[in-house]
């Protein structure tokens, strides 16, 4: 209920603001909605959304899997931590734009270069978060697993993964939003399709309605993913916690 009220308030403010600034700078909600419907009719919207989503998921998967493995290693082994730390600091502080431009120069204006550039941007955040989680693993449960001779796959799945759960969730949450923002930049700079490319075109035509239409459509998609996929997984993973209400 509160969420709907808050959303309604947002739309109302938007509508009022569009009245003051005029439709050139800020088209009203009804105009943007009209543009979304028009783009959807031609089918263009879904193609661009699909292309961008595919890049988002590919980059997200690479950065999460790679980041989790590296983070676990660095959290559990002092040597790996010492070796990896300088690299991590460099990657963390390298601006996204530098990584993207270099990826395109070295890898050409290709799909692989684009996805890798995004994944490398996200990777160090995942590593840092998962490393923190790996450092916080309960040594008591490790000892229990050793005493009872738990095989390695079982140990990872039943003891390590559940403890890393909150850290993976945090990395995933912030990751998804970061990845899709960077994917748009990559598309703007070096891809012939996707939401980012379309927004670039709209920018050159000064078509604010189209910019907002694409941005809004993608936000809706992300919201759907969040409520239909991320939240149910989280609920299932934390069903053992005692509910405080």
Partner 1 sequence: MRPAGEFDRLEVRIAHKAFTAASGDRFDVLRDICFKLGRSEVAALVGPSGCGKTTILRIIAGLDMDFEGAVARPSAGTLGMVFQEPRLLPWRTVEDNVSLVAPSTAAEALTSLFKILDLEAHRSHYPGELSLGLARRVALARALAVNPDLLLLDEPLVSLDEALAERLRAQLAALIESRPITTLLVTHDLEEAIRLADRIFLLSPRPAQIVAEIPLTTPRSARSEREVAALGAEIASRINGHAESPVPRANSLTKHDATDF
Q: Does 232 bind partner 1 (CB under 8 A)?
A: no
End-to-end CA distance of the chain: 18
- The window from 150-158, 177-185, 197-205, 208-216 that contacts partner 1 (CB under 8 A) reads 150-158
- The window from 48-56, 113-121, 136-144, 171-179 that contacts partner 1 (CB under 8 A) reads 136-144
User: Of 149, 189, 165, which is closest to residue 55 (Cα–Cα)?
Assistant: 189
Residue nearer to partner 1 on the CB measure, 87 or 157 = 157
Distances (CA, A) of 166 to 26, 122, 157, 172, 223: 39, 18, 15, 10, 20
Q: What are the DSSP E strand ranges found in 74-192?
A: none
Q: Does 140 bind partner 1 (CB under 8 A)?
A: yes
Q: Does 82 bind partner 1 (CB under 8 A)?
A: no
Give me the least distance between CB of 170 and partner 1, in Å please. Answer: 17
Q: Does 240 bind partner 1 (CB under 8 A)?
A: yes
Please answer whether residues 214 and 198 qualify as being in contact, where contact means their C-beta atoms are separated by less than 8 angstroms.
yes
- The crossing angle, in degrees rounded to 10, of helices 78-93 and 111-135 is 130
For partner 1, the binding residues (CB under 8 A) are: 140-141, 143-144, 146-150, 154, 158-159, 162, 165, 237, 240-242
């Amino acid at each position: 209920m509160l969420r709907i009220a808050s959303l309604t308030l947002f739309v109302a403010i938007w509508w009022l603001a569009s009245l003051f600034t005029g439709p050139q700078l800020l088209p009203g909600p009804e105009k943007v909605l009209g543009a979304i419907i028009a783009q959807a009719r031609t089918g263009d919207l879904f193609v661009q959304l699909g292309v961008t989503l595919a890049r988002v998921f590919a980059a997200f998967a690479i950065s999460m899997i790679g980041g989790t493995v590296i983070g676990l290693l660095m959290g559990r082994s002092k040597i790996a931590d010492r070796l990896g730390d300088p690299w991590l600091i460099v990657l963390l502080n390298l601006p996204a734009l530098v990584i993207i431009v270099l990826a395109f120069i070295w890898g050409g204006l290709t799909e692989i270069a684009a996805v890798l550039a995004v994944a490398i941007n996200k990777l160090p955040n995942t590593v840092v978060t998962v490393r923190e989680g790996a450092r916080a693993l309960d040594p008591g449960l490790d000892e229990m697993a050793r005493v009872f001779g738990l095989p390695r796959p079982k140990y990872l799945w039943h003891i390590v993964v559940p403890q890393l759960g909150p850290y993976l969730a945090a990395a995933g949450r912030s990751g998804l939003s970061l990845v899709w923002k960077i994917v748009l930049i990559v598309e703007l700079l070096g891809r012939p399709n996707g939401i980012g490319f379309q927004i670039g075109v709209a920018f050159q035509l000064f078509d604010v309605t189209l910019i907002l239409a694409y941005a809004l459509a993608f936000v809706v998609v992300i919201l759907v993913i969040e409520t239909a996929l991320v939240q149910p997984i989280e609920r299932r993973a934390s069903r053992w916690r005692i509910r405080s209400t």
